[in-house]
Structure 1
Amino acid sequence: MHSTFIRRVLLADALISAAAGLVMIVGAGALAPLLGLPLELLQGAGVILMPWTLLLLWLARAAAVPRAGVHAVIAVNAAWVLGSIAVLFVFAPSPFGYAFVIAQALVVGVLTELQLVALKREPAAA
């Protein structure tokens, strides 16, 4: 895939993932009590987002973005959204925690939808 659109969406995903990851790693101590979520969950999610960011950047900068790579990103993002919903049932977040989890799941959901749009826009043979 050679479209600028998919590259921009992947780049946006990477930048948002990096920012969220850093906030969760560096700010976990302050965020955990405010959100009512375990410190380890926040730190672990933040750490997971660092290599994810690198993968997204690599895909966005590839000479031709592989369709299979975009499909994989969509699958992982969908799993993140489902995992986020599960967090609301497994843990007892505060009202701020609910807002935080739902907001980041919505952002990932929007990025996933944009990635799906990009796949539909570009012919499979391109």
Structure 2
Amino acid sequence: MITMTRFLRIALAADATASGAMGLALAVAPGAIGTITHLPPALLSGAGLFLLAYAALLGWLASRPALPRPMLWLLVAGNLVWAIESAALPLLGFVAPNGWGIAFLAVQAIAVAGFAELYIIALRRAPRAA
């Protein structure tokens, strides 16, 4: 177990806020965002619903006094997979975004990789719970 530190709580809350905001936008307006980015609305809608659930989980985790180390490593892995998938989707030809869509995917990839790094820093700094 890892004792909840201020740094970890802020990282979880920031990830929850960003994921919740993005999830809400994607779930509510996948058609409009799809039109702007040339990304499939079904992909955006599904990602939005996932992000809303993910944000709720992160908010709950941030409220705990301690977390299992494997949970944080799962968050690191999940964020890194999301970052890789965001970059890989157009490279592998699964989507054909325009410039705005490429920027949208690139910003997501950078942001979630950044959250993965914050969780790694938290893992290094956090005292073990008793």
* TM-score category (smaller protein): over 0.9
Aligned to 2:121: 117
Aligned to 1:35: 37
Cα distance, 1:50 vs. partner?
1.3
Aligned ranges for residues 74-113 of structure 1 at < 5 Å? Answer: 74-89=76-91, 90-113=94-117
For normalisation by structure 2, the TM-score amounts to 0.91
1:41-90 C-alpha deviation (Å, 9 max, x unpaired): 00010011111111111111112122221111111111111111122222
Runs of 4+, deviation exceeding 3 Å = 123-126
For normalisation by structure 1, the TM-score amounts to 0.93
Instruction: Report the aligned-residue RMSD.
Output: 1.3
1:71 to 70, 73, 80: 73
Comparing both structures, which one devotes a greater share of its residues to helix?
1
Q: 1 CA distance for matches of 2:36 and 2:66?
A: 43
Alignment length, in residue pairs?
126
Q: 1 CA distance for matches of 2:62 and 2:71?
A: 10
Cα distance, 1:2 vs. partner?
2.3
In structure 2, the gaps of 5 or more residues are none
Residue type of the partner of 2:123? L
**Percent of counterpart pairs with the same letter?**
40
